[in-house]
């Protein structure tokens, strides 16, 4: 299969850990030049230099907080100064905390939305003119199954994800005349630091141990296990590649068969 990704230029957010880190690895292996973003500078720079050494493509590390307008501006300015153009944006940095209606404060709702909803919207708005000027490109949003399958213990995550799914679909329409394909992945449970911290918070709220909670969550997954980050990254690479040239406005479930909708 011809992916035709070699020489493309991409931004991956939340790229120092978990799904973003695995996606950066998979894109670098296909010859993509990368700008990677996360807040903590040391692990981000170490990962960027590791990728650059092993794969031989340019990898720029930009430490920035994407929950803020200033952080978005820092990332876009650094990317433009280094590469000047963009082919692929992967919106991935997000960490909405678990919680029910009253257990989360309004400030927590706002902080979580600032990254997972507004961070995706603002960064997409900021780079859209670059993609138009390039004559096309890809935007891939890493969202999450709670947007389709609400859960009382993850209210804010479900609400933000539902908004991002709707946005993805509509942006598929808006991007089509420009050759910009906009898609999303809804991962199910993925074994990352974030998954473990969600489990820990819910276990405290519900009085269950983490292994008990994990077993409960995964009991409904036909494949009976959480995904590894690389299993999300491989679908991300496909959706950003020439092999997915007729796919836009689509949300791909990568959840071990969990979602019931057809």
Catalytic residues: 154
* Residue count (the chain): 262
- Assess 20 for contact with ligand NAP (CB under 6 A): yes
| Rounded Cα–Cα distance for residues 31 and 106 (Å) | 43
In the complex, the smallest distance separating the C-beta of residue 177 from ligand NAP, rounded to whole angstroms, is 28
- Assess 190 for contact with ligand NAP (CB under 6 A): yes
- Assess 70 for contact with ligand NAP (CB under 6 A): no
Judged by CB under 6 A, which of 32, 66, 90, 98 binds ligand NAP? Answer: 66
In the complex, the smallest distance separating the C-beta of residue 96 from ligand NAP, rounded to whole angstroms, is 6
Strand 59-63 with 33-38, pairing:
parallel
Q: Which is nearer to ligand NAP, 51 or 67 (CB)?
A: 67
Q: Which is nearer to ligand NAP, 95 or 203 (CB)?
A: 95
Judged by CB under 6 A, which of 137, 147, 158, 187 binds ligand NAP? Answer: 187
Decide: helix, strand or coil at residue 26: helix
Q: Which is nearer to ligand NAP, 178 or 234 (CB)?
A: 234
Q: How many CA atoms lie within 13 A of 3 on its CB side?
A: 19
User: How is residue 122 written in tokens?
Assistant: 């603002």
Give the closest residue to 37 by CA, choosing from 103, 136, 122, 132.
122
Cβ-closest residue to ligand NAP?
A: 18
- Assess 151 for contact with ligand NAP (CB under 6 A): no
In the complex, the smallest distance separating the C-beta of residue 1 from ligand NAP, rounded to whole angstroms, is 25
Q: Which stretch binds ligand NAP (CB under 6 A): 63-71, 126-134, 170-178, 234-242?
A: 63-71
- Assess 213 for contact with ligand NAP (CB under 6 A): no
Judged by CB under 6 A, which of 19, 34, 76, 213 binds ligand NAP? Answer: 19
- Assess 14 for contact with ligand NAP (CB under 6 A): yes
Distances (CA, A) of 118 to 71, 91, 112, 114, 123: 12, 11, 9, 5, 8
Q: Which stretch binds ligand NAP (CB under 6 A): 122-130, 186-194, 208-216, 245-253?
A: 186-194
- Please name the residues in contact with 215: beta carbons below 8 A apart, sequence gap of 6 or more: none
Alpha helices, DSSP H, located in the chain: 18-29, 41-55, 69-82, 106-116, 118-134, 155-175, 193-206, 210-218, 229-239
Q: How many CA atoms lie within 13 A of 14 on its CB side?
A: 24
Judged by CB under 6 A, which of 45, 134, 169, 194 binds ligand NAP? Answer: 194
Residue pair 20/93 in contact (Cβ under 8 Å)? The answer is yes
| Rounded Cα–Cα distance for residues 248 and 40 (Å) | 33
Measured in degrees and rounded to the nearest 5, phi and psi for residue 173 equal -65, -45
Query: Which residues, numbered 25-44, are part of the site for ligand NAP (CB under 6 A)?
Result: 37-40
Judged by CB under 6 A, which of 30, 59, 113, 144 binds ligand NAP? Answer: 144
Which spans of this chain sit near ligand NAP (rule: CB under 6 A)? 13-20, 37-40, 65-67, 92-95, 115-116, 142, 144, 187, 189-190, 192-195
């Amino acid at each position: 299969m011809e992916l035709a990704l070699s020489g493309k230029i991409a931004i991956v957010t939340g790229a120092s850990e978990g799904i973003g880190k695995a996606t950066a690895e998979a894109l670098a292996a296909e010859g993509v030049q990368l700008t990677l973003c996360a807040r903590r500078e040391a692990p981000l720079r170490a990962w960027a230099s590791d990728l650059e050494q092993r794969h031989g493509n340019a990898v720029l590390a930009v430490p920035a907080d994407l929950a803020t307008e200033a952080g978005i501006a820092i990332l876009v300015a650094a990317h433009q100064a280094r590469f000047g153009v963009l082919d692929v944006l992967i919106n991935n940095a997000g960490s909405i905390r678990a919680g029910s209606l009253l257990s989360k404060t309004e400030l927590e709702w706002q902080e979580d939305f600032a990254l997972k909803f507004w961070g995706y919207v603002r960064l997409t708005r900021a780079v859209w003119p670059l993609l138009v000027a390039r004559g096309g490109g890809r935007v891939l949003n890493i969202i999450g199954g709670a947007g389709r399958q609400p859960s009382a213990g993850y209210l804010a995550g479900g609400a933000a994800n539902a908004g991002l799914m709707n946005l993805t679909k509509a942006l598929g329409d808006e991007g089509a005349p420009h050759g910009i394909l906009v898609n999303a992945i809804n991962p199910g449970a993925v074994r990352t630091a974030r998954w473990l911290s969600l489990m820990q918070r819910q276990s405290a709220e519900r009085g269950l141990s983490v292994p008990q909670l994990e077993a409960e969550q995964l009991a409904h997954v036909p494949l009976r296990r959480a995904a590894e980050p690389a299993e999300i990254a491989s679908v991300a690479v496909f959706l950003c590649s020439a092999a997915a040239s007729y796919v836009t406005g689509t949300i791909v479930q990568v959840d071990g068969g969990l979602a019931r909708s057809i």
